[in-house]
Structure 1
Amino acid sequence: MATLLKQQLGLDLSETKTLITPVTKTFAFLGHHVVVRNNRGLKRMACVTLIPKEKSHRLRERIKRLCRRDRTGQSLHELLRELNWLLRGWSAFYRHAWGAKRVFCSVDNYAWWTVCRWLRKKHQHAPVKRLKALYPPSKERGTRRGQWHHRGVTLFVTGRTRVGPYRLASARRPLFAIHHGEPGA
């Protein structure tokens, strides 16, 4: 395969970075697990991307790191801005994965309770009821409980991120791919 790519396309493959594997085996690609499974709805085999458990665990560790006890000197406003930046990027990257909504909802639950624990450390183990009085949560549509909110910043809800398979067919062709007559004309 490598010689074919070299001869016909002039591509050199790095031996250390390239792994040629059968498509029926699970493999990692760009932070996703790629699996071929039987799709009953389509009545054929289909390629599915999944969120690796290591990636969701790493996200939880990053959330936990942002909410350490030694960071209780900052305001809730600053913490929510940092968390929102992290959660928005992560959910945008994985929104095309199969089962993303379930993972996103569990991340939301984890983030909410981690911020709650951080606030309890900040306010000498105040009960949740007192914290909700100090920082009234915003009641947003689609959330079971109010989200933490302070000075115009609300904790981002990844569970409301629009998820679904990536639809290449519905994408417009990029300008460089549109034929404009003769090359160089």
Structure 2
Amino acid sequence: MRILAISGSARRGSSNTGLLRALAAVARKGMVVDVFDCIGDLPVFSPDLEGPERPAGVRAFQRRIAESDGILISSPEYVRNIPGGLKNAIDWLVSGDEIVGKPIALAHASHRGDDMLTALRTVLSTVSSGFNETLFFRLPVMKETPEAIRARLDRPEDRQAAERFLEDFAAFCRNRQRTGPSP
């Protein structure tokens, strides 16, 4: 099982990136969680650059989406909404078929951000019939270091919750592979 974990933050010390890396570290054998933390490297979306004109970084991002069995997204909230870099990345996927039907779930590294999560859920349910709104993992670790976040997942109750979330997401991905995406 190969999961692409997309951080919606362009900040180097992002707690959302730290959360995704910590989840990758506790993933059970047979599950690889590959963290994509280069959202800020994607050029601004333009329909003029689609098709054969797509920039190499966009092609690589789309290939990683296509090759994954599922996608986890963890993102900060900016001005009560989806950060521009994450929305831009999603815009690059809209006209392709890499994300259509792809299993998607959310994780969140803050005790707040519900407005952004609502907006992101709306966008993701529009671009993929595989978005699962009920699979959600929240660990409020905003502004903590990656080491502190990883230490939080060493606490038995947090680790069990993280492992259960990853197992539930893997089961959802396997089920979607067996039954195929819904129209």
Instruction: State the TM-score, normalizing by the size of structure 1.
Output: 0.26
Compare relative contact order (CA 8 Å, sep 6+) and give the higher one, 1 or 2: 2
Could you say which structure has the larger radius of gyration?
1
Richer in helix (by share):
2
